[in-house]
Amino acid sequence: MYLANLWGLLGLIALPVIFYIHFYRRRFPPRKIAGLFLWLSPRQQSPAGKMRQRPPVTLSLLLELLAALLVTLMLSDLRIHDTGRYRHLVFVLDSSASMAAQNQAGQSSTQRVKDFVQEQLTDPKTHLQATLILTGKRPTILGRTASEPLEAIASLDSYKPSLSSHSPAEALSLALDLAGAQAEVFFLSDQLPPEDERHRQLTYIALGQPRHNVGFVAAQWRPDYSLAKDQIFMRIANFSDRTKHVQLTGRIAEQTILSRTITIAGGAEEKMVWKAPSGVEQIRFELSPDDSLGLDNHIVMIKPARKVVVVANLFPDGPVREQIDRALSVVKNIRVVNSSQSAQLVIAPPQQFEPTADDRSWWLLIGPLSPKYRSQGQPKNMVGPFLTEPTHPLLEGVSLQGIIWAGAAPARSDLIPIVSGANIPLITRVPLPMGRAYWFNLNMERSNLTLSPDWPILVSNLVELRRAELPGLSRRSFRLGEVIRYPRRDPLSHLILSGPQGADKELPPSAQVYLAELGTAGIYQILSDGNVSQRFSLNLLDDKESDLRGLVPGRHEAELLAGSFELAKGGRLSWVNFLVAALILLALLWNWYLNRRSQESV
């Protein structure tokens, strides 16, 4: 035997304390009575108050000391050695949504994985320990590491794969770290990985079966405020070699607003554009009849919130202002004003750029750099090609071919170039404490930028960048596995994320919150002080998970075999808990019996 918690031995202090208490007895003060015949049996008279006496060795004292000793052993976690040879089995379970696909008998790969693990852990001739790891962007350990077989089997009830396609590399790396050289590692999935991705220490087991499937692979709600109705785009794919006839149904609560039969050829897709009724905030779409994978047969679409960007054009009347207004006229969901006080994007000449330390506005400055931001040198005229930052969202769809960039002044080194030529930043970002400023370093009257197709694209990209930074979600329907960016209005407000499984999560206090670990499809809510601030949906829209044709069962054995190991393992003495409770109850009953007998004798 051994003690797993040595701090529990502090309970031994109770033994001398109990014995010391029994040295003293409390007696009532003497009272005068009419005669001694009132007492049936003479008793020793003790002085009033407390006095120190040698305690008698009574059954009550022994029971109290024994109960205190057993409580101490219970707190110290008394265990029994069970030395023997053990096998440590590490199972990496694939959490992809395709694991939920069912065969004709209604059995899924998930159930076959559970049956395999249970079969491996029910060997009566071998002492086993098990560790279960779920794949994902961040792998999760199911239960405890090196747990008992019964405990590991019980934890399989929470294994419900539903993630979008992802790499199992992180989970396999964690499994190898936990396994070392003595544990056996199994990777359980519905298909074998390519040969060049297999590890020599792992045993790969594929339990999938090829199936036909039809499901949603793309969906988007596009609001169009210039029309009477929004548009919903959908793509439905047929992952089989046969033509399929499916029923598409759209519902608002319990009301059916769409019912259409769709015919999809084998291996093809059907694209649909459907106009949503005005005033509708949420629609649920379903495909019937249900097939092998039910997770991709239904999606929930939520109407995006309208974000109107207020743009201020501070240029005076003239050709430059007209070119700016022409570019803004093709951008939707904006409001053009003439004052910068309420504007969210200010387009102005450089001489009006005077930001304050707490200014959160966005600026678009058009003109040569002012002396404050200019370095030594004369302005230059140049023709492409230009050096660009290809991943910057401001340049999406922009080529700058044939552009004559006139009047570009040399800039200070602290400006951040986006487009440059001859070591001069042509489009640059000015670092600000709170807001953001982009500078088009050119003379508009001598340049042909406004005459090229890139001009309205640049303005539109900048407006969309500003719209994305406005508080709230830009969209409210996302793909499962997509990183959701949530700009907050108040970075210090208390926000709670509530999901379909009921587990609430507190969001960090920052201006930008990124939600990247949401692994369950359904409707989520962001609560601010108990009130619903935002609602959005996650849908399984993944053609890799919906395509079940390549799921083939198989097995690849590990080349490096692990052995068993010696372990002095302790088992908890659960009977100690019952014995302690029984002795405490017996001591209390014995004290009650003695007190009752004493009162009856009096």
pLDDT tens sequence across 95-109: 999 999 998 888 999
Say whether pLDDT at 546 is over 70: yes
Say whether pLDDT at 565 is over 50: no
Q: Of 1.10.287.610, 3.20.20.140, 3.30.9.10, 3.40.50.410, which CATH number belongs to 83-210+550-563?
A: 3.40.50.410
* Domain 309-469 = CATH 3.90.870.40: no
68: phi then psi, degrees, rounded to nearest 5: -65, -40
How confident is the model at residue 36, as a pLDDT?
Answer: 59
Say whether pLDDT at 18 is over 90: no
How confident is the model at residue 21, as a pLDDT?
Answer: 77
* Domain 213-306+541-546 = CATH 2.60.40.10: yes
CA dist 383 and 401 (Å) reads 9
Give 328's pLDDT tier (boundaries 50, 70, 90).
Answer: very high
CA dist 131 and 129 (Å) reads 7
Task: Let me know: does 212 contact 180? Beta carbons within 8 Å.
Answer: no
| Alpha-carbon distance values, 203 to 109, 177, 538 (Å) | 17, 15, 34
| Alpha-carbon distance values, 401 to 57, 367, 397, 455 (Å) | 105, 20, 12, 12
Cross-strand pairs, 285: 250, 299
Say whether pLDDT at 340 is over 90: no
Q: Give Dmax over CA atoms of the chain in angstroms.
A: 130
Q: Which residue has the higher pLDDT, 39 or 222?
A: 222
Say whether pLDDT at 49 is over 80: no
Give 279's pLDDT tier (boundaries 50, 70, 90).
Answer: confident
How confident is the model at residue 564, as a pLDDT?
Answer: 47
Say whether pLDDT at 46 is over 60: no
Say whether pLDDT at 526 is over 80: yes
Say whether pLDDT at 92 is over 90: yes
Q: Provide the 3-class DSSP secondary structure of residue 372.
A: helix
Per the listing, tokens 């387009």 go with 347
Say whether pLDDT at 310 is over 80: yes
Task: Let me know: does 310 contact 328? Beta carbons within 8 Å.
Answer: no
Domains 83-210+550-563 and 213-306+541-546 share a fold: no
Summarised one tens digit per residue, pLDDT across range 451-484 is: 899 999 999 999 999 988 888 888 899 999 899 9
Say whether pLDDT at 225 is over 70: no
Q: Which of 49-63, 263-277, 395-409, 557-571 has the lowest mean pLDDT?
A: 557-571
Q: What is the average per-residue pLDDT within 284-290?
A: 91
Say whether pLDDT at 282 is over 50: yes
Give 131's pLDDT tier (boundaries 50, 70, 90).
Answer: very high
305: phi then psi, degrees, rounded to nearest 5: -75, 145
What predicted TM-score, i.e. pTM, was given to this entire model?
0.71
Nearest 5°: CA angle at 327, between 322 and 330? 130
Strand pairing category for 416-421 and 436-440: unpaired
How confident is the model at residue 567, as a pLDDT?
Answer: 43
What residue spans define the domains of the chain? 2-76+574-601, 83-210+550-563, 213-306+541-546, 309-469, 480-537
How confident is the model at residue 175, as a pLDDT?
Answer: 92
Mean pLDDT of the chain: 84
